[in-house]
Amino acid sequence: MTVPWKAWPDLLIICVSLCATGVVSQTFVLEPASETVLQGSNVTFSATVMGEWQIMTWSIGENQVLTITDKGDVTPYKNYSAGFCSAGDSSCVAFTIHNVSRTENGSVTCTVQGPFGSKTADLYVQEAGTISITGGNMTVQAGQQVEFQCVTFGWYPTPAVSWTRDGEAVNSSLYNTTSTTEGGYSNSTSVLTFQAVRNTTVECLATVSELPQPQSSSVFLVVVPIPPDWTVLIAVVVSIGGFALLVLLIIGIIYCYRHRKEKQSSYQDEMSRRVRTQSEISRAGQREGQVNTGYVPEGQTSVAPSEITDSGFSQANGSSVLEMPDVLNGRQAVYYDDTVDPGFKKHRHVTIV
């Protein structure tokens, strides 16, 4: 493309301006261009100027906080300070913010009067809040699903939350973390879920990039064995007990039945014996008072009285007479034998009762 000759003066002015700007930018450097620190720490920025200068100012955000001259005279303000990087060398000035706070988060500007202009760097201030596992230590049965909740409060920016079990990192798939922002601070809630197997130390950690060590909170999980299922054992015991009671009941019924039968049989035997006894007594009564077949009618010679022997029988003199006691009625019966000795007359035989 061909540039018309009338445009050459304008191009010359632009080139001179760009070159002059490049020279200025090359003679004034602010480092670092960006810095991230933890609240409460110190942070330092340095400005290197190639050339003569007289006054340098430093600002945080929109507020000028410090002035320094090329002679090293400083007008300090609050927790800010400045000085030459090397004694007697004004080409490098170090600016320090002591005990930095979240209110100083933002831009840091250095301005050198004269043709040098201003340079700006970014300051990021992080803040560590609190962390805790809610609920404290836990005791559960083996195999039970457990849940732990970790809460972080007052962090900036949002912290990275992680978990460990017995010092070993937990897979991120086992926990879920949500965060909210309130008043410029981040609050997070992380929930860890897993199955209890053994006693375990559970730890929740939260950190931001500038925190030397993560902040943590830990609890102890106690896992107890599953108690035996007494339902089955109780059912077995009840079944066996019921069966034993049934057997005892059957045995009792059989025993009672047999005992009753034996009593009935004994009663029947007793009644039969009594009936037989009564029958015998009745028959004996019928025999009492009957005339002996050996009775001798009157008119015949009687037999002389007999003498009773020790055996209970007696025999009349000169005749065959037998006497027998009546055991049934307590009386003595005398029986005469119809047979008489030759030479005697046949006598009448009677029975004396």
The CA-atom distances, in angstroms, between 209 and each of 122, 158, 159, 164 are 16, 11, 9, 19
| pLDDT tens readout for residues 141-186 | 999 999 999 999 999 999 999 999 999 999 999 999 999 999 889 9
User: Check: CATH 3.20.20.80 for 24-126?
Assistant: no
What are the residue ranges spanned by the domains of the chain?
A: 24-126, 130-224, 228-265, 292-353
Query: What local confidence, expressed as pLDDT, does residue 267 receive?
Result: 74
In this structure, the strands spanning 117-126 and 106-112 are antiparallel
Whether 119 shows a pLDDT value over 50: the answer reads yes
| pLDDT tens readout for residues 196-243 | 999 999 999 999 999 999 999 999 999 999 877 677 778 888 888 888
Taking the C-alpha atoms of residue 70 and residue 19, their distance in angstroms, rounded to an integer, is 26
Name the helix (H) or strand (E) containing 23: helix 8-26
Whether 71 shows a pLDDT value over 90: the answer reads yes
Most confident of 230-234, 327-331, 337-341: 230-234
Arithmetic mean of pLDDT over the chain: 79
Nearest to 191 by CA among 177, 206, 173, 202: 177
Query: What local confidence, expressed as pLDDT, does residue 21 receive?
Result: 43
CATH for 130-224 is 2.60.40.10
Taking the C-alpha atoms of residue 291 and residue 274, their distance in angstroms, rounded to an integer, is 29
Q: What is the DSSP letter of 240?
A: H
Domains 24-126 and 130-224 share a fold: yes
